[in-house]
Amino acid sequence: MTQAHSKIAKVGLALSVAAAMTATAIPMTASAQNAGILRCDATGSKQEKGAAIGAVLGALIGNQVAKNERTAGTVVGAGLGAAAGSYIGCKSQTSDAYAQGTYTRGGQRLASYVQPARYERTNLRMTAVTNVSLRAGPSTSTSKVGVLQRGQTFQAAAYANDGQWVLVSRDGVGIGYVHAGYVRPISGGYQRTGYGY
């Protein structure tokens, strides 16, 4: 076998391994999003696409870098590439969510996908006591727009639905609601002021 044929065979092996990892990485990424391994707070598919592209590119690079252990290099490269692609894709999804625009209702600046509610103003740092869904509105019947992980801290802009839900704020913009039973203030004492939309 010539050197050129050998190189083509190795690249073919790298692509095969990357394709196999990509096929399993996409569903894994979607399910891992809820488990917190490769989660993204913003909705979209760029994270999964980034993981797939990263796996292929990482496999190719790993195959070329690992001189004696090409298969191991391919596998490690695919894993690292998938992780990097997932991270970059999530960042892009988050930017897209902010680019969708904001509006102001009831004294709150809200992301365009967030439903308004009757608010009781607060300004607290809070933490999630368990993994909890971030919702577009103060109800479990509204769409899920992200996840807060157990121990994750956030800025609470307001309470909604008589204190049953908390409006999560990022950079002064309400990005969704979490049920108040799954979060708690980091420091004691808070001030609530009622106002509506």
pLDDT of residue 182: 97
Q: Which two tokens stand for residue 179?
A: 């049920």
Which domain does 81 fall in, by range? 3-99
**46 plus 108 within the same structural domain:** no
**124 plus 71 within the same structural domain:** no
pLDDT of residue 99: 58
**184 plus 117 within the same structural domain:** yes
pLDDT of residue 150: 95
Answer whether residue 172 shows pLDDT above 50: yes
> Which tops the pLDDT comparison, 76 or 3?
76
**43 plus 77 within the same structural domain:** yes
Strands 102-105 and 108-111: antiparallel
**91 plus 129 within the same structural domain:** no
Provide the phi-psi class of 162: left if phi over 0, else alpha when psi is between -120 and 50, else beta: left
pLDDT of residue 197: 42
**90 plus 136 within the same structural domain:** no
Number of domains in the chain: 2
Specify the pTM. Answer: 0.50
- Give the span between the Cα atoms of 196 and 160, in whole angstroms: 9
Lowest mean pLDDT among 17-21, 129-133, 146-150, 170-174: 17-21
pLDDT of residue 45: 76
Answer whether residue 22 shows pLDDT above 90: no
Annotate 9-31 with DSSP letters as a single string: HHHHHHHHHHHHHHHHHHHHHHH
% pLDDT > 90, the chain: 35
Q: What is the pLDDT of residues 108-158, one digit of tens each?
A: 999 999 999 999 998 899 999 999 999 999 999 999 999 999 999 999 999
pLDDT of residue 25: 42
